[in-house]
Structure formats: C-alpha cells, structure tokens
Amino acid sequence: MERTNTLVVRPRSEQDRELLHELLDASASLWNELTYERRQNYFDGESVWDTADYRKRYVDVLGSATSQQIIRKNNEAWRSFFAAQEGGEETAPPGYWGNEEDGREWRTYIRNDQYTLQTGDRSRLEIPVGKALKDEYGLDYHDRLRLEVSGVPKWEGEQGRLELYYDEVNDTFRAIQPVTVPDSQQDSPLADETAALDIGANNLVACTTTTGQQYLYEGRGLFERFRKTTREIARLQSKLNDGRYSSQRIRSLYRRRTRRRNHAQNALARDLIERLHTEGVSTVYVGALTDILETHWSVEANTKTHNFWAFRKFIDRLACTAEEYGISIEARPEAWTSQECPQCGATDRTTRHRDKLTCQCGFEGHADLTASATFLRRQTDVSRPMARPVRFEWDDHEWSELPRSRESPKEQRTNQSIHG
C-alpha cells in the first residue's frame, strides 16, 4: 500500500539555503535541457530516446544518482505522454520546469537509498550533492547537505524516491516522501465512501459524496484576477519596441499570475481531500481529461481551461494530496453529465444559463452540483438524501465558507455581474 508524507524542510544557515537553491536550480536545468532536446526530436519525427548523456553533464553538481533520478522521472513523463496518446487522449508533450515568463520551478528527486530522514526531537534530512558544490561550499568528500525538518511523518514503511521542491508562494522548502506501508497500518480501515468531482471553468470544483455532502469551490473571482493580469501583460507587450518580446515587468506579472493560480489550486486540493478523508471517502472519481476539454469549447472557456485552470497539473496535485490520506483518484468518462437531467434523464431537453440547469420536465438546480451528482450515480448507487451544499470562496490565503452558503441553490441569487 503506497502512502505519502509531506514535510517542511529548513536550511540551517544562509549558506545551506544558497547551496540548496543551486542544487534545485541545476536539477531544473537538467530537466529543461533534456526536455528541449526530446521535444525537438519529437516534432522532427525522430526518437525522443536518442539524446545526449545529460548525466555526465550534471554529475559534478548533482551527483550521479540524483542526475539519474531526474532523467528517469523525465523518461516516466514521456512514457505517460505516449500512453495517453495511444489511449486517444489529446495531450501535449512533457513541458519545462518553468520558463522565462513564469519563472523556474525549483525541484529535485533523490533516490530512496541516497537520503536519510530522521525524526524526533531534532528531525533532519540529509541529501547528497555533487563534488563541484561540495568544493564551492566547503564540504568534505563524504559530507552531505543536512537540513532541518518540521512535521511528523504520518506513515512509516519502506521509503521511496524523495521529491524536494521550493514553494515560492510561502518561501518554504518541502519534501514529499512516498512510503510503502503494510495494509494493517490503514488509518481508516472502514472507509468505503465515494465522491465525484465536476471540474469546471467558473466553479472550479463541484463535489458530491455518497455520504450526502456537496461542496462547491467558486472560481469566478480567481479567473477575473487572472484575466486582469493577462490584459495588463498584453498592454505592456504592445508597447515594447520592435524586436523585443518581454521585459522585467512582464516576466514579473507572468510569475505572479502563475503563483496565485498554483497557490489557490494547492490549497483547494488539500482543503477538499481533508474534508473527504473526515467523511470516510476512499475513492474520488474525476472526469477524464478528454471529456473536460471537449466540454469547454468557447474562446473564453479555452482560456480558462488551458491557461488558467491547468487541469493536468491540478489533477496531479489532487492525486498527490489524496495519496497522503490513503484516498485513490480514478479518472472515468463523464460525457453529458452537465446536460443530463437527474429527474427524467433527458439530455436534449435541458438548458443551462449561468449556474442554473433547467429541464422541460420541471427540474431546476445548480448545474455543476447536479453534474457531480450525476457523475457519482454513474459510478455507484447514491441512496442518501443530499444535504444543502457548502460553498467556498478564495480570499488569497484559504478557501472560506461563504455566509449563508448552505442555502439551497434556488434560494441563492445568481451574480448577474459576471457571465461565465
């Protein structure tokens, strides 16, 4: 049984912090260089596996084992991409760990036998670094970088490959440690409830569970801020001299836009999964990516879907967070759930206007919550009555329940100032 521990990592000194930044930055450079060559090969119709020996290029900085782990992770990303293609999914080749506009993502992977994690009164993490970094920062040949750790691992077992990354929004380093634990260590052996998510462009997530709960995470405010920043970027780009494509101000806006989105998505994933874990949910169903992309076809929805929402990245974060709590994420087809009437089953007699779904049979309800409930019914029998939904809004720090959020959707006045 695979589970995940997430811990906060703190350098002991400013020198250790600089060393760690260099290590993560070199890891991102390795990933980006390898990805660039493979993308070029792919678009030229050549084999993506025929590349230069990047391990040798980075062994002095990262060490042999860490260089190989990043290359192996890149291999996994490309195999996943080809598997999705064979399954008929419309998806893009693996991308970069940041770029000039969005800023670089600092991340690395440490092989399971190359790091030491000790917890207790003085918890610490020790990781290897390459000879060049050791020389630069005055480490001896056998020394490793020692970092402080806060937080108590929830799971104990055989440790897997460690992911270490920098959370720019919170100016914090974090470690994600997968572990293999015996089945006897399950913290919720009786958890057998199920949830289904409708991931949308205006309401980010609508969730329905077999316990009768419904959650709605509203996204219009987030998207309006994203679109405002995008317009400002376009305005600044229009004023650039010929031959120039960016500026320090534009790059800063790109980074700010991305950080805001990622922060909100990460917080959403954790808030939702913690609530589902409390309810005893063991499986969460999400729509297959192809169904999501085919649903949102307009120009505005395309902007939300591809630029703002970043579905695949969100699903990856959701799955990673769910793994910490022993919850599995499964992708299933969800075609027509947004159009199907739960009362009569028709799809050709329903009409959606903003957040409301109506049917000629007399049904009227919240479109996204209805879609998540319909999606859930396709996966399992839902026999319990539904409680009034709990609605959440992002305040730049956390997802907070809206006042009077548990009123029926019919009792809530639709926001007429925003068109989705």
Give the containing element (helix H, strand E) for 3. strand 2-11
Res 299 pLDDT > 60: no
**How does pLDDT run across 78-132, given as a tens digit for each residue?**
998 898 888 777 778 888 887 655 567 889 999 999 999 988 778 899 999 999 9
Q: What are phi and psi of 6, to 5 degrees?
A: -120, 125
Choice between 102 and 153, residue whose per-residue pLDDT is larger: 153
Percent of the chain with pLDDT over 70: 86
> Whole-model pTM?
0.67
Q: Is residue 401 left, alpha or beta, with left meaning phi > 0 and alpha meaning psi from -120 to 50?
A: beta
The first and second tokens of residue 381, run together, are: 């029998």
Q: What is the per-residue DSSP string for 188-224?
A: -TT--EEEEEEE-SSEEEEEEETTS-EEEEE-HHHHH
* Token representation of residue 206: 């609508």
Cα separation, 411 vs 420, whole angstroms:
20
> Contact 168/259 with Cβ under 8 angstroms?
yes
**Mean pLDDT estimate for the chain:** 84
Per-residue HEC secondary structure of 9-27 comes to: EEECCHHHHHHHHHHHHHH
In angstroms, the CA 98 to CA 229 distance is 18
Res 413: pLDDT = 35
Question: Domain 193-221+257-411 class?
Answer: alpha beta
Q: For the packed helices 64-86 and 14-43, what is the interaxial angle rounded to 10 degrees? A: 40
Q: What is the structure's pLDDT at 407?
A: 52
Residues of the chain with CATH 3.30.420.140: 193-221+257-411
